[in-house]
């Protein structure tokens, strides 16, 4: 473990620049954008999960007061197809149009768009569009969708199989031949609904040949690129703005049907167009997350040494492939299953399947929570099987600190790590040693108490462009930054990242401030507008922003610093090596009283009459940073729970976590990410599940049924960290956006199973609802009788 | 968004309100609006006329009158939860009101609205039944008092006649050494009662149980009195085994609801557990 030296601003708990406007309600979100002459869209969505569309009758809707037009799939073919950015070998892609014209493939598939002068008129008229459907057989379960005779969603493919994706290493047969102990688990990693606080919204206007689109998106540059290509507009004539974005969690990491459609309507109608989904629509038509079924087998020696892991996975991709869907259960899941452990043999195969359900794509953690859940549940099961303490089993199999950079059996190279200290600190915080006493005390009160841990490694810093290319990701993984210092010394940072709650305006200012030697207060960070962006931005997802976008900012700031030093040295008649840039001043080492203010240097850069020979005027720098590798944060989380056997209710009594994300730029933001992430992971463990009936109707279709946990559902979190710098980038940063979500789900489930293990209970499918827990306890009681 | 057009009336007296209701065959009374407005937003209710009774100030009162505590139909859940009169004499009602939704809902939603709406998962019907309250209604044919046991019918159905308005709920103050409590198992998402049990017990000076009344909500198509459990308890000393035996009968003869969150089997278990828990606390208060 290395301890980072705190810099002036990097490492400070700087209050977020974003918060005053958000707290005061003065932030402008997409739905706040209202333009003169604007029309509103309401979408008619299929009530059937699978049906042929025989006829669409919009005559009555067209006659409604205020209705401008009703558009169906045949009218909107000019939008082109929705993009998929990842192609895995042998993939059967789906043709996905913004409006389905021949067949609806999930309940919520959009069929027609009603455009009217008011939102209300559009909504009312949408109810008057009559569609003659011929219902078709439905399949919602991915495993069943792959069985012979299952209803086929995309007839041109002749199969529901999207891909078969193997990742193998070592001799798995030998591992199981040599095994002294084996465990098997069947895991249902249930479907989740992302529930960003702000629903999606799109506003578009087309004026003087220029298309402007406001969208609640994590990837404005991709949206701009696709709009330009699909709608046949020169890219310089398409501007996409992601204003305030109220959360995404991957659900806004798309180029959605509505973005193409609303832009197309603005272009064809010549009036500004707005569409905003309501929460019920969001449940149906915004992507869902997870939905994997996994069969895990582990081979080990009786002393706990793991010999091999075999895993077979079926991933439900929903009715169509969305933008990043092919990469989630494959690249981001299969490769990371070995986790924090040295595993000599690995055999993984993931199959993807189309079903008559809402499309599934990235949801906070995206593949990595599934991988971590599989391996961390398997570790606990193995510990139980061989009678070893779960913490000791993990420690025994950890990749040792001297093995880094470490290439896993799945073939990826971990940059740096020291897993033991994070485990030790988490266990100490959790008073792991004193637990059995607490278990006994709880038992006396009639409660089952349990403790569970999860040690994770995640992939962040997506991604080296060459790795992207090798893995079938159809775009580079770099990020861009531009810093403009105005003549007066005002500093603007333009970033290609697109924050939606992450606080980049604050963290990027801290990074730039350290390099340029001015205060973060004097640095404005701008993002999410393709017309003022540094160039091509990739966006914010996969815990990539800091380790890629933050480094781009750092590198651009270094270029500014270099030029400031050169100009300073020239003006101070000193050697550049002796020039110090600090506190808004530039001076020769040891002579701070003869300083030039930062503004004097910037002014000199633009007066341009007294610059070093051959130097260009101006003070501006643009960089693209392409990371040489991913980053691999890690840590251990420990949950302690009590189960009420009479009602099956679970209370999380205590939660301790030690995370290592390399250098922390702003520890307050790191903690905020963990608080939210842990809570979200607890949501999957205990509460959240998207439930379809056999007809493909979403039963958990609103927040009245689907519980998103709040602060009221969780205990205070005890957080600690270690700092193991990565050598992948100059700041040694790794990423923290998803760690909480990745780690907490298995920690909580392991704790509950530990609590119930004295009853002989070894497994309960997520979410661990009160009824499931009660039923498990009851059945265990009957079994013992 | 409410997309259908409707007429709105805001009378200042009950008589005017009753008359206003008569003007449309499809009129709805608007009180706190915390059940009706969401239904209208979802398009599940599309009344032609809304009669907002919010301006009839007398309906907000909570007062003691002739040995009863009279709660106006417009008393909010919050005002009921915070009322010291109710907290002392009708503890189960105060606890049930405090368990409704969240602070915003409690600050707007009313007891009259909740009872008239008759959501099977609403909290306040349970203590209303347990305390043998009387629901006073006024309609075109004048005033009538409906005993709680006759008021609740099925899901979203009550004994209210056409154009009748709930004006107050009269709770007889429990006599003797009485205590009550409300025990609830909320839906994790909506906060509605998967099961809510209001228990009222009165003990004699020798410690035996004189009277027991148990109202259950959430578990069935409508709220009900757990009469078998009540009978099992009266005359006992209210020890753990007596309470346990009574609680085991709490769901007797009642068809339990089943949904995504709780099967009928689990609801039955929750009714028994929460009956026991409510009885234990009620007894503690009765003896205290």
- Average pLDDT (A174-192) is 98
The verdict on A700 touching B (C-beta cutoff 8 Å) is: yes
pLDDT of A724 over the 60 cut: yes
Check whether residue B132 and residue B232 sit in a common domain. no
Q: What residue has token string 């922390």?
A: A664
Is A45 in a helix, a strand, or coil? Answer: strand
Residue pLDDT, tens place only, A99-135: 999 999 999 999 999 999 999 999 999 999 999 999 9
Nearest CA in chain B to A687: B188
Contact B4 A699 (CB under 8 A): no
Check whether residue B102 and residue B134 sit in a common domain. yes
Check whether residue B39 and residue B122 sit in a common domain. no
Residue B235 domain flag: yes
Rounded Cα distance, A267 and A75, in Å: 13
Chain A closest-CA separation from residue B87 CA (Å): 25
Rounded Cα distance, A52 and A109, in Å: 12
B188 vs A contacts (CB less than 8 Å)? 687, 707, 713, 769-770
Residue B54 domain flag: no
Q: Give the pLDDT score at B179.
A: 98
pLDDT of A4 over the 60 cut: no
Nearest CA in chain A to B2: A120
Q: Give the pLDDT score at B1.
A: 87
At the fourth CATH level, which superfamily is domain A33-136+197-247+252-285? Aldehyde oxidase/xanthine dehydrogenase, a/b hammerhead (3.90.1170.50)
pLDDT of A742 over the 60 cut: yes
Q: Give the pLDDT score at B26.
A: 94
A769 vs B contacts (CB less than 8 Å)? 188, 261
Are A630 and A742 within 8 A, CB to CB? no
Q: Where does chain A hold its CATH 3.30.365.10 domain(s)?
A: 19-24+478-625, 295-352+391-456+629-784
The verdict on A651 touching B (C-beta cutoff 8 Å) is: no
Check whether residue B187 and residue B168 sit in a common domain. no
Are A459 and A418 within 8 A, CB to CB? no
Q: Give the pLDDT score at A2.
A: 37
Contact B185 A770 (CB under 8 A): yes
Rounded Cα distance, A610 and A614, in Å: 11
Check whether residue B194 and residue B165 sit in a common domain. no
Contact A646 B269 (CB under 8 A): yes
Check whether residue B38 and residue B139 sit in a common domain. no
Q: Give the pLDDT score at A503.
A: 97
Which of B156, B172, B188 is a domain's end point? B172
As a whole-number percent, the residues of chain A with pLDDT over 70 amount to 99
Q: Give the pLDDT score at A448.
A: 98
Which residue, among A644, A778, A196, A706, has the nearest Cα to B187 in the 3D structure? A706
Q: Give the pLDDT score at A782.
A: 85
CATH at residue B229: 3.30.390.50
Chain A closest-CA separation from residue B19 CA (Å): 31
A679 vs B contacts (CB less than 8 Å)? none
Nearest CA in chain A to B4: A124
Is A632 in a helix, a strand, or coil? Answer: coil
pLDDT band at residue A415 under the 50/70/90 scheme: very high
* Substitution target from A193, A770, A779 for chain B, most B beta carbons within 10 A: A770
Chain A closest-CA separation from residue B1 CA (Å): 7
A779 vs B contacts (CB less than 8 Å)? none
Contact A705 B190 (CB under 8 A): yes
Q: Bigger pLDDT: A3 or A82?
A: A82
B270 vs A contacts (CB less than 8 Å)? 647
Nearest CA in chain A to B261: A771
CATH at residue B73: 3.30.465.10
Contact B260 A699 (CB under 8 A): yes
Residue pLDDT, tens place only, A204-250: 999 999 999 999 999 999 999 999 999 999 999 999 999 999 999 99
φ/ψ of residue A268, rounded to 5 = -85, -30
The DSSP symbol for A70 reads E
Is A98 in a helix, a strand, or coil? Answer: coil
B185 vs A contacts (CB less than 8 Å)? 647, 649, 770
Q: Give the pLDDT score at A784.
A: 75
Rounded Cα distance, A560 and A565, in Å: 9
Q: Give the pLDDT score at A623.
A: 97
Q: Give the pLDDT score at A5.
A: 40
pTM of the model: 0.96
Rounded Cα distance, A455 and A460, in Å: 16
Check whether residue B155 and residue B249 sit in a common domain. no
Nearest CA in chain B to A773: B266
Chain A closest-CA separation from residue B3 CA (Å): 6
pLDDT of A442 over the 60 cut: yes
Are B81 and B97 within 8 A, CB to CB? yes
Rounded Cα distance, A708 and A706, in Å: 6
Structure token pair of residue A693 = 């009936």
pLDDT of A7 over the 80 cut: no
Q: Give the pLDDT score at A535.
A: 85
Residues A296, A302, A308, A311, Cα dihedral to 10° = 0
- Architecture label for domain A295-352+391-456+629-784: 2-Layer Sandwich (3.30)
Rounded Cα distance, B101 and B111, in Å: 13
Nearest to A120 among B1, B263, B270 (CB): B1
Q: Give the pLDDT score at A305.
A: 98
pLDDT band at residue B24 under the 50/70/90 scheme: very high
Residue pLDDT, tens place only, A568-610: 999 999 999 999 999 999 999 999 999 999 999 999 999 999 9
* Substitution target from A123, A647, A777, A782 for chain B, most B beta carbons within 10 A: A647
Residue pLDDT, tens place only, A328-386: 999 999 999 999 999 999 999 999 999 999 999 999 999 999 999 999 999 999 999 99
Nearest CA in chain B to A276: B1
Residue B2 domain flag: no
Check whether residue B155 and residue B181 sit in a common domain. no
The verdict on A707 touching B (C-beta cutoff 8 Å) is: yes
Nearest to B185 among A119, A278, A647 (CB): A647
Contact A770 B189 (CB under 8 A): no
Q: Based on the structure, what is the number of domains in chain B?
A: 3
pLDDT of A96 over the 60 cut: yes
Q: Is A697 exposed, middle or buried (0-12, 13-18, 19+ CB in 10 A)?
A: middle
Chain A closest-CA separation from residue B60 CA (Å): 29
Check whether residue B168 and residue B230 sit in a common domain. no
Contact B273 A647 (CB under 8 A): yes
Select A19-24+478-625's CATH number: 3.40.50.300, 3.30.365.10, 3.40.1280.10, 3.90.226.10.
3.30.365.10
Residue pLDDT, tens place only, A252-295: 999 999 999 999 999 999 999 999 999 999 999 999 999 999 99
The verdict on A615 touching B (C-beta cutoff 8 Å) is: no
With an 8 Å Cβ cutoff, the interface of chain B facing chain A consists of: 1, 3-4, 42-43, 185, 187-190, 192, 260-263, 266, 269-270, 273
A774 vs B contacts (CB less than 8 Å)? 266, 269
Q: Where does chain A hold its CATH 3.90.1170.50 domain(s)?
A: 33-136+197-247+252-285
Check whether residue B150 and residue B198 sit in a common domain. no
Nearest to B188 among A120, A699, A707 (CB): A707
The ipTM assigned to this model is 0.96
Q: What residue has token string 């008011």?
A: A118
- Average pLDDT (A739-762) is 98
Q: Which domain holds residue B278?
A: 177-287
Contact B273 A770 (CB under 8 A): no
Which residue, among B65, B59, B39, B49, has the nearest Cα to B9 in the 3D structure? B49
User: CB-side exposure of A389: number of CA atoms within 13 Å?
Assistant: 10
Contact B266 A770 (CB under 8 A): yes
Q: Give the pLDDT score at A6.
A: 41
Cα→Cα distances B108→A781, B53, B77, B92, Å: 45, 13, 8, 20
The verdict on A124 touching B (C-beta cutoff 8 Å) is: yes
B43 vs A contacts (CB less than 8 Å)? 127
Which residue, among A210, A342, A332, has the nearest Cα to A266 in the 3D structure? A210
Mean of per-residue pLDDT scores for chain A: 96
Residue B1 domain flag: no
Check whether residue B189 and residue B239 sit in a common domain. yes
Check whether residue B182 and residue B245 sit in a common domain. yes
The verdict on A120 touching B (C-beta cutoff 8 Å) is: yes
A775 vs B contacts (CB less than 8 Å)? 266
């Amino acid at each position: 473990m290395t301890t980072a030296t705190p810099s002036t601003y990097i490492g400070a708990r700087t209050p977020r620049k974003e918060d005053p406007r958000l707290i005061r309600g003065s932030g402008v979100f997409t739905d706040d954008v209202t333009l003169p002459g604007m029309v509103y869209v309401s979408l008619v969505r299929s009530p059937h999960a699978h049906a042929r569309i025989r006829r669409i009758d919009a005559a009555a809707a067209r006659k409604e007061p205020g209705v401008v037009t009703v558009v169906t799939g045949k009218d909107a073919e000019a939008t082109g197809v929705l993009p998929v950015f990842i192609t895995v070998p042998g993939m059967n892609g789906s043709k996905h149009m913004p409006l389905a014209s021949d067949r609806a493939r999930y309940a919520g598939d959009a069929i027609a768009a009603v455009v009217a002068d008011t939102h209300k008129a559009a909504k009312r008229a949408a109810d008057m569009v009559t569609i003659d459907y011929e219902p078709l057989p439905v399949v919602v379960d991915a495993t069943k969708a792959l069985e012979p005779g299952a209803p086929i969603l995309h007839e041109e493919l002749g199969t529901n199989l999207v891909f078969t994706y193997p990742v193998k290493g070592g001799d798995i047969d030998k591992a199981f031949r040599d095994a002294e102990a084996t465990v098997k688990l069947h895991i249902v990693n249930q479907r989740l609904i992302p529930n960003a606080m702000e629903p999606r919204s799109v506003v578009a206007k087309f004026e003087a040949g220029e298309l402007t689109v406001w969208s609640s998106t994590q990837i404005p540059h991709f949206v701009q690129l696709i709009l330009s290509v699909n709608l046949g507009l020169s890219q310089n004539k398409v501007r996409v703005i992601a204003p305030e974005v109220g959360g995404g969690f991957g659900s806004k990491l798309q180029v959605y049907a509505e973005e193409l459609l609303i832009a197309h309507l603005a272009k064809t109608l010549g009036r500004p167009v707005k569409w905003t989904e309501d929460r019920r629509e969001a449940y149906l038509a915004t992507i869902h997350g997870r939905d994997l079924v996994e069969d895990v087998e582990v081979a080990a020696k009786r002393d706990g040494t793991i010999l091999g892991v075999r895993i077979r996975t079926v991933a439900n991709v929903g009715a169509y492939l969305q933008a990043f869907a092919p990469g989630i259960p494959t690249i981001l899941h299969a490769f990371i299953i070995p986790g924090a452990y040295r595993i000599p043999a690995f055999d993984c195969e993931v199959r993807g399947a189309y079903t008559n359900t809402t499309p599934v794509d990235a949801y906070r953690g995206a593949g990595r929570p599934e991988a971590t859940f599989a391996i961390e549940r398997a570790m606990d099961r193995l510990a139980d099987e061989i009678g070893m303490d779960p913490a000791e089993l993990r420690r025994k199999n950890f990749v040792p600190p001297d093995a880094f950079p470490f290439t896993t059996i799945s073939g990826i190279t971990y940059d740096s790590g020291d897993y033991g200290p994070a485990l030790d600190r988490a266990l100490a915080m959790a008073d792991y040693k004193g637990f059995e006493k607490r278990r006994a005390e709880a038992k006396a009160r009639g409660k089952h108490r349990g403790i569970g841990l999860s040690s994770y490694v995640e992939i962040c810093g997506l991604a080296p462009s060459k790795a992207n290319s090798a893995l079938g990701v159809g775009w580079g993984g770099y990020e861009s930054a531009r810093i403009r210092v105005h003549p007066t010394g005002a500093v603007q940072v333009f970033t290609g990242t697109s924050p939606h709650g992450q606080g980049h305006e604050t963290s990027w200012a801290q990074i730039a401030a350290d390099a340029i030697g001015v205060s973060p207060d004097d640095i404005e960070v701008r993002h999410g507008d393709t017309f003022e962006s540094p160039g091509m931005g990739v966006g914010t997802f996969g815990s990539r922003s800091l380790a890629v976008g933050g480094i781009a900012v750092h590198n651009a700031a270094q270029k500014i610093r270099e030029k400031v030093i050169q100009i300073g040295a020239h003006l101070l008649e000193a050697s550049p090596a002796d020039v110090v840039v600090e506190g808004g001043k530039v001076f020769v080492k040891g002579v701070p009283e003869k300083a030039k203010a930062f503004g004097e240097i910037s002014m000199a850069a633009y007066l341009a009459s007294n610059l070093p020979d051959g130097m260009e005027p101006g003070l501006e720098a643009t960089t693209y940073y392409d990371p040489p590798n991913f980053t691999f944060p890690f840590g251990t989380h420990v949950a302690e729970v009590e189960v009420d056997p009479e009602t099956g209710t679970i209370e999380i009594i205590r939660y301790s976590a030690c995370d290592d994300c390399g250098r922390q730029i702003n520890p307050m933001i790191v903690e905020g990410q963990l608080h939210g992430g842990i809570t979200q992971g607890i949501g999957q463990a205990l509460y959240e599940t998207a439930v379809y009936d056999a007809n493909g109707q979403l039963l958990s279709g609103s927040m009245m049924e689907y519980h998103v946990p709040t602060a009221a559902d969780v205990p205070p979190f005890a957080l600690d960290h270690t700092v193991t710098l990565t050598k992948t980038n100059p700041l040694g940063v790794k990423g923290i956006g998803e760690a909480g979500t990745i780690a907490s789900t298995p920690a909580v489930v392991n704790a509950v199973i530990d609590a119930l293990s004295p009853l002989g209970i070894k497994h309960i499918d997520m979410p661990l609802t009160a009824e499931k827990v009660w039923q498990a306890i009851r059945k265990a009681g009957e079994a013992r009788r | 968004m409410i997309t259908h057009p409707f007429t709105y009336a805001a009378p200042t007296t009950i008589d005017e309100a009753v008359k206003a209701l008569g003007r449309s065959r499809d009129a709805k009374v608007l009180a706190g609006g915390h059940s009706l407005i969401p239904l209208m937003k979802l398009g599940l209710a599309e009344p032609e006329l809304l009669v907002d009774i919010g301006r009839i100030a007398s309906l907000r009162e909570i007062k003691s009158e002739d040995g009863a505590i009279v709660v106006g139909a417009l008393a909010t859940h919050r005002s009921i939860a915070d009322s010291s009169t109710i907290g002392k004499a009708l503890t189960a009602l105060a606890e049930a009101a405090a368990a409704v939704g969240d602070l915003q809902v409690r600050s707007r939603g009313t007891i009259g609205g909740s009872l008239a709406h008759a959501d099977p998962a609403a909290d306040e019907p349970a203590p209303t039944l347990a305390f043998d309250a009387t629901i006073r209604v006024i309609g075109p044919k004048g005033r009538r008092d409906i005993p709680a046991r006759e008021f609740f019918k099925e899901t979203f159905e009550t004994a209210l006649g056409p154009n009748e308005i709930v004006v107050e709920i009269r709770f007889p103050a429990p006599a003797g050494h009485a205590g009550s409590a409300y025990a609830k198992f909320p839906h994790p998402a909506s906060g509605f009662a998967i099961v809510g049990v209001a228990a009222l017990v009165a003990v004699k000076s020798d410690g035996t149980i004189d009277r027991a009344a148990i109202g259950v909500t959430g578990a069935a198509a409508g709220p009900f009195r757990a009469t078998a459990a009540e009978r099992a308890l009266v005359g006992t000393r209210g020890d753990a085994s007596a309470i346990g035996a009574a609680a085991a009968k709490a769901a007797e003869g009642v068809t339990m609801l089943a949904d995504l969150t709780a099967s009928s089997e689990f609801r039955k278990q929750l009714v028994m557990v929460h009956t026991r828990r409510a009885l234990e606390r009620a007894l503690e208060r009765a003896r205290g």
